[in-house]
Structure 1
């Protein structure tokens, strides 16, 4: 493991519960994350109210999803530069309030599908500013010895909102519609605005680049990329997170075939994804409470080997209980990669570079989530699901061992 070294003993989650500013950030994250998931459900629900253009007659829902995804690929790094220039609290609060106002504006816009696409696009752009600001704010509010617990809690919340948000999205929107014609938009917009208000109460000490300094966008972008190229520790952490997200994106596609293999219907593949989400939550909880005791162990290597084992066994599984159990185990292994690597990035990145680094991370994560979605299904059709799972398992095992050996080499070179 690329470890930040021995850390002072922390109180796990309990110590974080005494940090009021962190609790405000965490509360804002919970509300905002739920808003994100229910907003996507709302977009898909609203599609039926619009006249489809001839060229999108059968793919309006897909067009909305693409509009909501593109900014994550193209604007992450640029948003990170902005985050380094302005107070994190302001960015966190304002982006959520603006997202809320965008949702509230939907009922008052002309009934043109292009405008719904524009709302989805603009909402996603604002999210690209919120995400790196949120990650950069954590080490400003939490002592280094508690960062592992803080990241575990944030990942737990992220996965919990993913599972819960999509599950309750439709029932909650149906309930909100009973308030009146504008009930759904007011509910989702209210979530974002509430998150913005909660985040505005955070008190954080930070130094930002003064506004009278010349802002050289291209120069700042080059500085960020140059810093990542020179810092081998950060590069290794980013690479391991990229492999992790690639695997999860591929499994999102392969889960449809896997569901059939273990006796589920194709449209019940969500049970497998939910199992992985439960595993991530369990693993993050374990690391958050006791992870500091294992700071000298190669946790990511354990995670990669666990995931590789699950993928290899998945190729030959035909029982429901075993498939669901393996999904949970896969999620636990993933948490042993994601939580320590995210913590390491926060520890090793200086405050003045955090926005750029987390903006770039946002970029590569979204690319890592996008590319396998296109390739995994094609490969499964060409060579079969079993061959793809075996190949993916081997790649994950090799990547984990290589990353661990490379990390050991970097540590030795730095001594």
Structure 2
């Protein structure tokens, strides 16, 4: 698999794009902090881009299934590069409205790019290599997050804010150039696709597919378990820092979680041949719940680090496994619409969890909120495991 040119193009592109993304995210926070004193206005500004991405999601899914994945990725990459220009205008003019244009274009490009990318992965490697590719791909993303945030912090000290976005622009242009060199064989993917323009695909067609594949539906719902932690991740880290009266703990938490995630994504390849992917999902989901419960003792630095190490390792195993299930169980002709729907679902649930986390942190505090979320995660895991065993037993009895 690692001799495949397409694999290296995608991995390199993911790393470079990730650097550009995190340079931009840190820059966004810096610009908003200077221009918007209200946290509520900041959330509204970020929500504008989010809603734009959700709005174009159904069309993005249909287009990804009907058109070339590479073409969709190229157009999305071009729009993403253009969006940075509007942020540079926002900095030059001091206008927050140009930042709105930047965020809207950025989220629209992401709504097209990521479903096309997920749909392209099964077309460039054999099915047996998908889990390993998903793990390495997510590791490239995590590594770019760790390096990108650290680099942005250094650049903000020595360079003007606009240079962060110049760095993002360079990264996005590099990704656009790399995407040109992709060589994806989409003939198999198109064998069951519409043969002419008179037969149009519908975004709604993906819902009966999901309903008819119980393992896909169950995996889709189970992704809510890590989202319960990830949605309010930054708020949790800030509250832990305040609880322990330590600014340094934030760095330790992000570093621990990132490294543990990478270890989990490498480890999953070693055990995937011997353990059912469904058992891996249930075990990781349970460990995510345990890591949340451990944060009841968030005032103890050592246990805090242990909790985030367990969480990082668990999601490092969970997400590549879930992605592989989706890529192998959902028919390829529906990949664009399915991954677009999943992208929309993720965006909505992350925002809901973020709002709920903020409310609960004010209402009951960090430690009780973590117990509540951890208990809910464990209960969801047990319920879905019991249902999975019931389905397996029913199938076995029916076959006999």
With the length of structure 1 as denominator, give the TM-score of the two structures.
0.84
Tell me the equivalent position of 1:323: 304
Look up the SS of the partner of 2:273 in the other structure: helix
Distance 2:278 2:67 in 1: 37
Distance 1:244 1:44 in 2: 24
Q: CA deviation at 1:108?
A: 5.5
Distance 1:389 1:107 in 2: 40
Tell me the equivalent position of 1:169: 152
Q: CA deviation at 1:45?
A: 4.0
Tell me the equivalent position of 2:173: 193
Tell me the equivalent position of 1:12: none
Look up the SS of the partner of 1:293 in the other structure: coil
Deviates more, 1:187-196 or 1:37-46: 37-46
Distance 1:105 1:397 in 2: 45
Look up the SS of the partner of 1:298 in the other structure: helix
Contact 1:34 1:165 survives alignment (8 Å): yes
Tell me the equivalent position of 1:5: none
Tell me the equivalent position of 2:11: 26
Contact 2:9 2:179 survives alignment (8 Å): yes
Q: CA deviation at 1:62?
A: 4.1
Distance 1:313 1:102 in 2: 41
Give the 3 Å change call, closer, same or farther, for CA 304–102 of structure 1 in structure 2: closer
Q: CA deviation at 1:89?
A: 1.2
Tell me the equivalent position of 1:259: 241
Contact 2:54 2:111 survives alignment (8 Å): no
Matched, 1:77 2:61: no
Tell me the equivalent position of 1:42: 27
Distance 1:175 1:105 in 2: 23
Distance 1:57 1:246 in 2: 28
Deviates more, 1:231-240 or 1:57-66: 57-66
Distance 2:298 2:157 in 1: 38
Tell me the equivalent position of 2:260: 279
Look up the SS of the partner of 2:272 in the other structure: helix
Q: CA deviation at 1:290?
A: 4.3
Deviations, residues 320-345 of structure 1 (Å, cap 9, x unaligned):
12211221112112223222111111
With the length of structure 2 as denominator, give the TM-score of the two structures.
0.87
Tell me the equivalent position of 1:152: 135
Tell me the equivalent position of 1:406: 387
Tell me the equivalent position of 1:335: 316
Look up the SS of the partner of 1:292 in the other structure: coil
Contact 1:310 1:330 survives alignment (8 Å): yes
Tell me the equivalent position of 2:366: 385
Matched, 1:371 2:352: yes
Q: Which runs of 5+ in 2 are unaligned?
A: none
Q: Which runs of 5+ in 1 are unaligned?
A: 1-15
Distance 1:74 1:332 in 2: 33
Tell me the equivalent position of 2:123: 140
Q: CA deviation at 1:365?
A: 1.3
Give the 3 Å change call, closer, same or farther, for CA 314–58 of structure 1 in structure 2: closer
Equivalent of 1:239 in 211, 216, 221: 221
Contact 1:242 1:364 survives alignment (8 Å): no
Cα RMSD over matched residues? 2.8
Tell me the equivalent position of 1:353: 334
More contact order relative to length (CA 8 Å, sep ≥ 6): 1
Distance 1:269 1:372 in 2: 21
Distance 2:199 2:169 in 1: 33
Tell me the equivalent position of 2:107: 124
Q: CA deviation at 1:187?
A: 2.6
Tell me the equivalent position of 2:269: 288
Q: CA deviation at 1:47?
A: 4.9
Matched, 1:203 2:183: yes
Distance 2:333 2:278 in 1: 30
Give the 3 Å change call, closer, same or farther, for CA 62–251 of structure 1 in structure 2: closer
Q: How many pairs were matched up?
A: 389
Give the 3 Å change call, closer, same or farther, for CA 357–272 of structure 1 in structure 2: same
Contact 1:35 1:191 survives alignment (8 Å): yes
Look up the SS of the partner of 1:18 in the other structure: coil
Tell me the equivalent position of 2:206: 224
Q: CA deviation at 1:292?
A: 2.6
